[in-house]
Copies of this chain bind each other. A is one copy, B any other.
């Protein structure tokens, strides 16, 4: 009856090896490529692992193996489901391949995102999922120098050199705007997130302007209100918009959250939607359908984007053939918040 080792300290590979009367190399192999080791030995080792409650030390493993099977993702916010659903799918797919996902949130702050990128890389992330193209080129260089593959999601741009999976923000918004103009609206305003640091918002505004041109309107006449993210900000923005451009009959918001805020403000102002004013969003998050009236918006395949992003990124870390960017289709969900222009 050998004295079981008291649980005085955390068991290491060496402890397991000792107990199973094999070398540490064998234990390591048992854990990482079990088929390279004899059945009997393997069973003995696994028993020892179980007995001791052994769990590998990640730091040591990362140090020795130079990869971590850990991917990182940085999302602008967790405050709503826009990114949550895509990321959840991303995580599930990674899990299926034995990868772990580390998530960080940048709260829509560029400096914070940079910090998170470095933190994630420092902690050994094998690859990164980032949202949108816009960021300091130095960050891309940093990632390259560390050979950490990086995939851009939620945006797609043929021009740019980064591999991406996303959709045509401008095109989708233009398609929606076309519908708005078809309803007879001539005085359209746009409520947007700050476009300086958010290419998705910028592209969506450009989409509206492109559609204006096509409809024979002057893109410069588009009334633009920029505001940070948030329902309350959407409310304020609508009030501001209507104060500055009272002739507005349709307000196109670059995301659903701002649109929900606008919707609420319209109600507070006693305006009927869509009779007095039409409102549209983008993303098709859950509240879009739940809102009263339900929100006309652009539906984005969040789930599929997340799932496929995982597959692409896994390919990228294998760094065999280069991975092609993927453009996903979007479609418009016509609901009650958009109606004909009041005459």
Binding site for B on A (CB under 8 A): 7, 10, 53, 55-63, 68, 70, 77-81, 84-85, 87-88, 91-92, 100-105, 107, 118-119, 121-124, 142, 145-146, 231, 260, 264, 286-287, 290-292
What's the Cα separation between A163 and B60 when bound, in Å?
Answer: 31
- A65: nearest residue on chain B (CB-CB)? B59
Chain copies in the assembly?
2
What's the Cα separation between A202 and B125 when bound, in Å?
Answer: 38
5 A-B residue pairings within 8 Å (CB atoms)? A58-B124, A68-B123, A78-B78, A80-B286, A231-B286
- Pair A119/B100 contact, Cβ less than 8 Å: yes
What's the Cα separation between A87 and B286 when bound, in Å?
Answer: 20
What's the Cα separation between A70 and B146 when bound, in Å?
Answer: 22
Pick from B10, B56, B87, B88: contact of A146, CB under 8 Å? B10
What's the Cα separation between A79 and B287 when bound, in Å?
Answer: 12
Pick from B61, B88, B287: contact of A290, CB under 8 Å? B287
- Pair B123/A58 contact, Cβ less than 8 Å: yes
- A7: nearest residue on chain B (CB-CB)? B145
- Pair B70/A123 contact, Cβ less than 8 Å: yes
**Given A63-B63, A104-B101, A290-B291, A122 and B81 touching (CB < 8 A)?**
no
- A116: nearest residue on chain B (CB-CB)? B100
**Given A81-B80, A145-B10, A290-B290, A123 and B122 touching (CB < 8 A)?**
no
What's the Cα separation between A325 and B84 when bound, in Å?
Answer: 30
Within 8 Å CB of A59, what residues of B? 58-63, 68, 123-124
- Pair A79/B88 contact, Cβ less than 8 Å: yes
Within 8 Å CB of A91, what residues of B? 105
Within 8 Å CB of A79, what residues of B? 81, 84-85, 88
Tell me how far the C-beta of A153 lies from the nearest C-beta in chain B, rounded to whole angstroms.
Answer: 15
Within 8 Å CB of A7, what residues of B? 145
Within 8 Å CB of A57, what residues of B? 63, 122
- List 11 other contacts, CB 8 Å, given A92-B107, A102-B104, A287-B287: A10-B145, A58-B123, A59-B68, A78-B81, A78-B88, A103-B103, A103-B104, A123-B123, A286-B287, A290-B290, A291-B292
